Structure 1
Amino acid sequence: MSVVVRAALAMILLVGYLLTAAALVVALALAGVLALSERVDGAGLKALGLATLVGLAVLLSLGRAVLCAVPVPPGAAVDRAGAPELWRLVEDCCAALDCRTPHEVLLVPEANAYMQEDGWLLGLLAGRRRLYVGAGLLTGLTVDQLRFVLAHELGHHARGDGRLGALTYAGWDAVENAAQGAGVPWGVVLRGYHWAYRLASLGVLRYQEHTADRNAARMTGTRVAVDAVRSADALERDWSRFLRTYADVTVDGVALTGVTEAFALFSRDQASGPSPAGGGPAPGSKAASRWDTHPSPRERIEIIEAMGSLPPATAADDRPAHVLVPLLERHGPKLDALALRAVGTSGTAFPDHAVRVARARAQRCADVLYRAAARAYGAPDAGLSEVLDLLADGRAADLAAQLKRARISTDRVRNTAFELAAHLTAALSATAERAGAAVWAYTPGIGPALTAPDGLLDAVAWADAALASPGGAADVRARLRKRGICLEEAGGSFGDVRISEAEAEVMGAMMLRFNGGVYDLVVEASAVNFLPVRVHDVRWWTRSERLAHRLRQVAAGGPVPEGRFRVSLDDVVEATLTHPVRANAELRLKDGTALFFVDAGPGRVAGPRRPSGGDSGRDFGGDSGRDFGREHVAATRAALRRWVDDVSRAATYSAPEAAGPQPVAPPERLAALEETRRGMGKVDYAKLMFWTVVPPPVAAVVNGHLAGNHGEGYGVAFVLGLPALAVLLIRWRGVRQRHGRGRRKAVARRAARQSSMDAGLRPVRWGVLGIVLSLLCPPMCVVGLIYGIRSVVEARMAGTSVVLGVLAILAAPASVIELLLLF
């Protein structure tokens, strides 16, 4: 299908959506008026009420998306006086492309660039235009490469195909925003319409990207264009790594300051320049998904190279791009406030912050090794001395087994020896630094490293020697003593550093049944988080969207989600898999508490869209809103199964008795968590059913008054109001479960009930109930069918036979035949 046909189809779908929604409301309104004119009892009021609901849900939500201006992303404004060369470059690109010059140029803390126009009516009415330039591009590109990036973004707003692309993008956002705001049930229909529109418009959007690349390449030449795509791709990956490694990290409450200067030093340390000529994009770049609006860097480079060797239209300018903004450091505080999450805390410059982070990570890695050694010894605490004793006794395998149970990894192949060597290297480095025999220092071009008076401390070689043979541990002790490090005095024990890393330790998410309730499991490297699922919550369209939100919620390190139950891996004494394929497991904690969870089925966590409207979603680097990645539930399930298997094979240890007052018992915590979850679910169910059960009795009363038959109207309203009363009772019960006076007693009862249950799966019970209801009470065959389906689902979760569930499903139609034979 050609691009023109796709564009026409996308526009037809967009206009058809508007006409369909309007026609539906008009038809319902006319039906109501006609019914009232014919004196049809209640029908006219129902039609008018339905038309009102559709109009409010669909038209108002679409009106907000179409008529309202898009939100303006924040940035640090750059005026002409402060950056005359940058403005001149932008104006030259606009003149060459025959497009309007943007009203503002703003710097943003990214390694990307994009345009935003706050136009109305899907961008048909022009508005204020803004060009956003990432500070990361200024620190890593040349002036010629930045010219290509800016020409690419400005080309989206040039005359010709750019207008069609802008309208397509705006229509995409308008339909999706309308679907998000319409609610149930209209939003479900609109979501399907949005997917059809998306399929029709994807080809148009990718064609616009290729067109913008070609137009920009004619200005800068083929060589500069290819280098710009490669460099921008590498810079964007470096920026994501920089945020994850340093910008989002605090150590003892101290954060980074000066994000622009810090990224310049970081990218220099990484030495991640363009790949060799002809090699495509830099290694590690992600392949484009079939649903991405942007082609992959490799595809973009192939399209540009297919144009041939084009000479540049302007004189070459290989100066670094940051010379275009002479006073870049003046915008540092604004960029810090936009990029750094720990704004308001004390901050340090990048060299000092990098050293603090390296020291904290080494100590944290050493702490993991010390906890593993404590388990292997069966002692409450351990240090580097105990680690070397285990290695000298030939118990490296025991130490490695305990080390593997302390962390969860998504890597399919894990080299145990390499992992143990890395932790031992960190322990040796932390011990040498704490003993004063070495210090962490930052070296430009290298980064943070541990330095001794006679040069760099080779802790890697020491760790390899200790693991090579049992006698190597004694040799390492001798080397430590030679440097004046006495393990008995230096300790080499746990540190008191507090490091907070956002998104660095979150592995994935999946849905499961946890001790009888439905929960989302967010897996961290050193802990698992159980988050209650509100089954009737309509905020999320799919399980994938909810899991993606939960991942970001836990990874961001912000407020703890309501009802979260977090279990540290250090508290797990025993773990057992209970299913040959799924991640069904039983965990035993130090205090004897049993946790049962059952894998609730397949799923996928998709990365979030860029949280901006209109054309700001079309940025140079592609769908950068997907920085979190696409976590497959299968990878999380496999990692969790490997960890449980490691725990089951590792030698068990007896946990020491905890001193001091004990917290609330985990069974009571779980019972309180489950009471809250059930209460929230009942309140959500009442909200979902409100517009279904409340209008009928109200309409019956009004119809009785209009018809002059008050008694019949109130009688019908009483009958129709019984479901509404039931819904109100359900809501009242849900509120009591969360905040009622009898909550303590209810929690105690549930705790006693949970102590005798496993995962809450009862496939045999549901199967038997389904068969009995269908055969002995044929009018209840629908309920029996539901019980049969539930029996099959839970039997598959538990890995048991589905025969009873299948028989219950077959008994439902058999009961209908039974009724026909009886009557």
Structure 2
Amino acid sequence: MFRAAASVVMLLGFYVVALIQLAAVLAFVVWAAMEHHAAVGLKLGLPLLLAVGATVVGLWRAVRTRPEPMHGLVVTPQGAPELWQTVHALAAEVGTRTPDEIRLVPEVNAAVSEDTKLLGLIGGRRRLYLGMPLVQALSVDQLRSVVAHELGHYSGRHTRLGAVAYRGRLAIGGTISRIGRWNPVGMVFRGYARLYLLVDNAASRRQELDADRASVRVAGPEVAMSALRELPVIDAAWDFYFGRYVASGWEAGYAPDDFFGGFGQLFAARGEELAELRDQEPEEHKSRWDTHPSTAERTAVMRTAPQPAHPVDGRPATALLPSVQAAGTALQSEVLDVGDRKVLPWPQFTAAAATARLQVTADRLFRSLGRLTGTPDPGLAALFDLVAAGRLGELAEEFFPDAGRDEAAARFAGLMDMLFVLAAIRSGTAFWRHSWSGPVRLTDAAGAELDFEEIAKLAVSPDTLEEARARLGEHGVRVEAAGIIERKATAKGSDVIAAMANLKVDGAHTDLVLLDRGFLFVPGPKSTDNGKQRLQELLSSAPVEQLATRYRFVPFEEVRATTVTKRTPAKAELHLHDGTEVALEERWTGEQLGESRDTLLQVLDRLGGKPTA
């Protein structure tokens, strides 16, 4: 309750500050008009009046905006009676009414919300959100603890004015985003915004400790602390699962047929690794800007709470659902938009993803091979011709710029090994074996593991190339099976690592989005105002892969070398393989997201002299 009340007071104070500044600006305009000229006063005061007017826009939008419910699968009492009975009993123990709705959500999180009216004076529909990964990984006791914590927010009336706190953050954030970087009025508003967040976050931390006490009353301190310690373990497992098992296949145009079921199987199969994570002390450095207390502070509060006796239920939390597989499949249909991706069972999905990763790297090599030799259809066969001619070092030095040609050719064996794996897969003599407990394995049809490392070492020298070719033939590997698919580098699968507004590129006003695979140049306006906002709107308008098709995209692999002539502000030239020169010049009035300038200089330094793979 304190948090929301404080939010109301602080929000009102924000507009009091706006009114004071409005009065000051009007006085300044009148003074300037009387002392100089009316046009001078208006010219000087208009930017300040616009900044103050931004508060009105921010307030209007905030008042009209309601927090949207989290997207998930609604679980009915008929569909999961034991889950609903458990939540109902917990609500009675905590001293609050049962939520009107339970939703499974695709996050490592649990939360509650309430639709209220008249600034929270009238309660409304309540929703309890349960992350599917939590249900799959926690015990019933631990899930009871987590749910009791969330219901404690209801009994503490934390959700009644939660929408007010939400609107307060929205209004202040919206106002700040509309004030130009160099507008002096913005300094006062930004200072007040920091004060608002300090007060609101401090209240949020107190609410979390109150909810923890409710959790201990219901589940006991040991279970409550074990659930709290388990959350970062589940979070790490979820990130590992998505990054190692899902992401590459998803980017390549595939989707698993049982997304959430896969996580459950991985969590069960990686017990030893997860146990090591549980033994690690959490590295937390909480500050006054955090919305949650540290784990150490929370466990200290739990230890001092009363320790009521309660029945132990160590069953997996999935026991509360009639069928966790059916729930996972239904949730997948509800929240995942697979688009035109091909849906595959996990073994086939893993195999398709692994092969797609190989092809991306192979295409990168083959594009360079085609550029070097002029071969219109470069592939492994053309690479063998290059080796036979004793020219592998010319290609290899592009990928190993710190080595001479002979050493680079020898080190190319690792990349050659990868190409042999691709050729074996494409030849139908090698297969990927899916595993939840370890990495994917390459085997033959009988299940025996395959290794082409020694053959690859033979293939990088003209003297032993024919021996390598013969040994590949013994394995049924067709050299011509590995060829190029993506002849032009794209931004597919790229991530944004930096963004800068108001540069000049070849003399034209340009915004730069730096991807982990190349430079994206977007035509910009002459005005240097609202550069950050323009970049944020650009990045939220479409995936970077689509943006790279609309605007000029220069992949790193097309950069032969770079020359940095000035570092502050940055000034450099990109020298492309086709002989083109691209001039980049940062302006003093430019804006950036985060530390983008430092990132740009690091990339230019890395590309300097010789490009890397």
Structure 1 length-normalised TM:
0.60
| 1:115–1:153 CA contact under 8 A, matched in 2 | yes
User: How do residues 371-386 of structure 1 correspond to structure 2 at under 5 angstroms?
Assistant: 371-374=367-370, 379=375, 382-385=378-381
Question: Equivalent residue for 1:112?
Answer: 109
Question: Equivalent residue for 1:303?
Answer: 298
| 1:262–1:349 CA contact under 8 A, matched in 2 | no
Question: Equivalent residue for 1:213?
Answer: 212
What is the CA-CA distance between 1:109 and the residue it aligns to? 1.9
- CA distance in 2: counterparts of 1:417 and 1:237, whole angstroms: 39
Gaps of 5+ in 2: 27-37, 40-45, 402-407
Q: Deviations over 1:523-560 (max 9, x none)?
A: 3343321123346487x5x63x5545555556554x43
| 1:77–1:106 CA contact under 8 A, matched in 2 | yes
1:78 to 65, 71, 75: 75
Tell me the number of residue pairs that the alignment of Structure 1 and Structure 2 aligns.
587
| 1:250–1:500 CA contact under 8 A, matched in 2 | no
Matched, 1:567 2:554: yes
- CA distance in 2: counterparts of 1:498 and 1:537, whole angstroms: 34
User: How do residues 189-588 of structure 1 correspond to structure 2 at under 5 angstroms?
Assistant: 190-243=189-242, 246=246, 249-250=249-250, 253-268=253-268, 273-275=274-276, 277-281=278-282, 291-295=289-293, 299-301=294-296, 303-304=298-299, 307-308=302-303, 313-331=309-327, 335-337=331-333, 339-343=335-339, 345-374=341-370, 379=375, 382-385=378-381, 387=383, 398-403=394-399, 423-446=415-438, 448-459=440-451, 461-462=453-454, 465=457, 476-487=468-479, 490-495=480-485, 505-511=495-501, 512-534=503-525, 536=527, 540=530, 543=532, 546-548=534-536, 550-551=538-539, 555=543, 557=545, 559-560=546-547, 564-579=551-566, 584-588=571-575
Whichever of the two has the greater Rg, that structure is 1
Question: Equivalent residue for 1:605?
Answer: 593
User: How do residues 771-786 of structure 1 correspond to structure 2 at under 5 angstroms?
Assistant: none
What is the CA-CA distance between 1:294 and the residue it aligns to? 3.3
- CA distance in 2: counterparts of 1:505 and 1:550, whole angstroms: 14
Gaps of 5+ in 1: 30-40, 43-48, 406-415, 607-630, 651-823
What is the CA-CA distance between 1:635 and the residue it aligns to? 3.3
- What secondary structure sits across from 1:358 in the alignment? helix
2:602 to 632, 638, 643: 638
- CA distance in 1: counterparts of 2:231 and 2:319, whole angstroms: 18
- CA distance in 2: counterparts of 1:249 and 1:345, whole angstroms: 10
CA gap 1:24/1:250 in 2 versus in 1, 3 angstroms: closer
Return the letter of the residue paired with 1:401. Answer: E
| 1:531–1:565 CA contact under 8 A, matched in 2 | yes
Q: Deviations over 1:99-140 (max 9, x none)?
A: 332211111222222222222455454222211112222222
| 1:280–1:301 CA contact under 8 A, matched in 2 | no
- CA distance in 1: counterparts of 2:543 and 2:390, whole angstroms: 39
CA gap 1:64/1:121 in 2 versus in 1, 3 angstroms: farther
- CA distance in 2: counterparts of 1:181 and 1:90, whole angstroms: 41
Return the letter of the residue paired with 1:280. Answer: E
| 1:522–1:528 CA contact under 8 A, matched in 2 | yes
What is the CA-CA distance between 1:145 and the residue it aligns to? 2.3
CA gap 1:643/1:55 in 2 versus in 1, 3 angstroms: closer
What is the CA-CA distance between 1:82 and the residue it aligns to? 0.9
Greater displacement, 517-526 / 462-471: 462-471
- What secondary structure sits across from 1:585 in the alignment? strand
Matched, 1:95 2:95: no
2:131 to 129, 134, 141: 134
| 1:83–1:325 CA contact under 8 A, matched in 2 | yes
Structure 2 length-normalised TM:
0.77
2:582 to 595, 606, 625: 595
What is the CA-CA distance between 1:596 and the residue it aligns to? 0.8
- CA distance in 1: counterparts of 2:537 and 2:466, whole angstroms: 50
1:152 to 149, 152, 157: 149
Question: Equivalent residue for 1:65?
Answer: 62
Q: Deviations over 1:323-349 (max 9, x none)?
A: 222244445565335543433554223
Return the letter of the residue paired with 1:359. Answer: T
CA gap 1:385/1:177 in 2 versus in 1, 3 angstroms: same
CA gap 1:59/1:434 in 2 versus in 1, 3 angstroms: closer
What is the CA-CA distance between 1:439 and the residue it aligns to? 1.9
Return the letter of the residue paired with 2:140. Answer: V
- What secondary structure sits across from 1:137 in the alignment? helix
| 2:8–2:168 CA contact under 8 A, matched in 1 | no
- What secondary structure sits across from 1:317 in the alignment? coil
- What secondary structure sits across from 2:77 in the alignment? coil
- CA distance in 2: counterparts of 1:421 and 1:143, whole angstroms: 52
Q: Deviations over 1:446-476 (max 9, x none)?
A: 4643221343444374477459998786664
CA gap 1:25/1:325 in 2 versus in 1, 3 angstroms: farther
CA gap 1:457/1:122 in 2 versus in 1, 3 angstroms: farther
What is the CA-CA distance between 1:15 and the residue it aligns to? 3.2
Q: Deviations over 1:209-231 (max 9, x none)?
A: 34433442453344433443343
- CA distance in 2: counterparts of 1:565 and 1:496, whole angstroms: 18
| 2:496–2:513 CA contact under 8 A, matched in 1 | yes
- CA distance in 2: counterparts of 1:243 and 1:505, whole angstroms: 16
CA gap 1:392/1:536 in 2 versus in 1, 3 angstroms: same
What is the CA-CA distance between 1:312 and the residue it aligns to? 7.1
- What secondary structure sits across from 2:484 in the alignment? coil
- CA distance in 2: counterparts of 1:498 and 1:348, whole angstroms: 27
Question: Equivalent residue for 2:35?
Answer: none
CA gap 1:437/1:277 in 2 versus in 1, 3 angstroms: closer
What is the CA-CA distance between 1:361 and the residue it aligns to? 0.8
CA gap 1:567/1:501 in 2 versus in 1, 3 angstroms: closer
- CA distance in 2: counterparts of 1:176 and 1:468, whole angstroms: 62
- CA distance in 1: counterparts of 2:423 and 2:206, whole angstroms: 57
- What secondary structure sits across from 1:560 in the alignment? helix
| 1:172–1:194 CA contact under 8 A, matched in 2 | no
| 1:94–1:154 CA contact under 8 A, matched in 2 | yes
| 2:213–2:301 CA contact under 8 A, matched in 1 | no
Cα RMSD for the two superposed structures: 4.9
